[in-house]
Structure 1
């Protein structure tokens, strides 16, 4: 599996459309019923001006991209560090993209260091960050 990855390789993008129904379902699954996510009249009167998706819902899409690229290697111990740049809103179409910035060997183990970004249909950055994954031999 290690031979498949090279510095500069783009990861397969993940594209997701956000709906209020999806946000509401995530609230039930996560137990996070903060009104900024689920109460449209409450959220309309906040500085955000409307409901927003849970940050961890957006992070699930980032993890999906990493899982598609690295499979078991990602699921068994990938590391992620991100910054939330802007909220994801109902009606947004999010695209998660990434690339392998470097591959390093440490004590006989190969690691891929990746950069990633999630942006909306207006090309506004929603999330930016880095991920590291141990390239396990399959």
Structure 2
């Protein structure tokens, strides 16, 4: 577990490679109750103008914050997390799924002693979350 005294503005978190598969979409749909056909039906997704089945935005968001929780060593260290959804993550119907790459950078020490970490999540080199940040309280 990292300690506040070990953190400086400008620190870059270790990158994290995340795979999202169609099986993940099924599990997430069951847990969230979001059974929108854009997340499981290729034909429907294409009919509404998408490149194919796409990951749930909240699933992508939840997976991306792992770059922070793994760095902090405690998911409870994240006291605030926010994103804007930028572009969809198409998930192919294969065993590999979609590769989302998450990175983070400490950008500020806030007045309450927490740290602001900007989070970047990208798919095929393009950002999928905009303005993503976490506020982290470290021991």
Give the alignment's TM-score, normalised by structure 1. 0.85
Out of 70, 73, 83, the residue aligned to residue 71 of structure 1 is 73
Tell me, yes or no, if the aligned pair for 2:69 and 2:77 is still in contact at 8 Å.
no
Q: Which runs of 4+ in 1 moved over 6 A?
A: none
d(CA) in 2 for partners of 1:19, 1:89: 10
Alignment coverage as a number of residue pairs: 131
The match for 2:27 is 25
Aligned 8 A contact 1:7 1:102 in 2: yes
Which residue of the partner structure matches residue 14 of structure 1? 16
Q: How many angstroms apart in 2 are the aligned matches of 1:117 and 1:7?
A: 16
> Is contact 2:77–2:136 with CA below 8 Å preserved after alignment?
no
Unpaired runs of at least 5, structure 2: 92-96
Cα RMSD, aligned residues only: 1.7
**CA distance in 1 between partners of 2:104 and 2:38 (Å):** 29
Match of 1:131 in 2: 134
Contact 1:14 1:61 in 2 (8 A): no
Q: SS of the residue aligned with 1:52?
A: coil
Aligned partner of 1:46 among 45, 48, 67: 48
Output the CA distance in 1 between the equivalents of 2:133 and 2:32: 24
> Offset of 1:92 from its aligned partner?
2.4
Structure 1, unmatched stretches of 5+, are: none
Aligned match of 1:102 in 108, 118, 127? 108
Equivalent residue, structure 2, for 1:85: 86
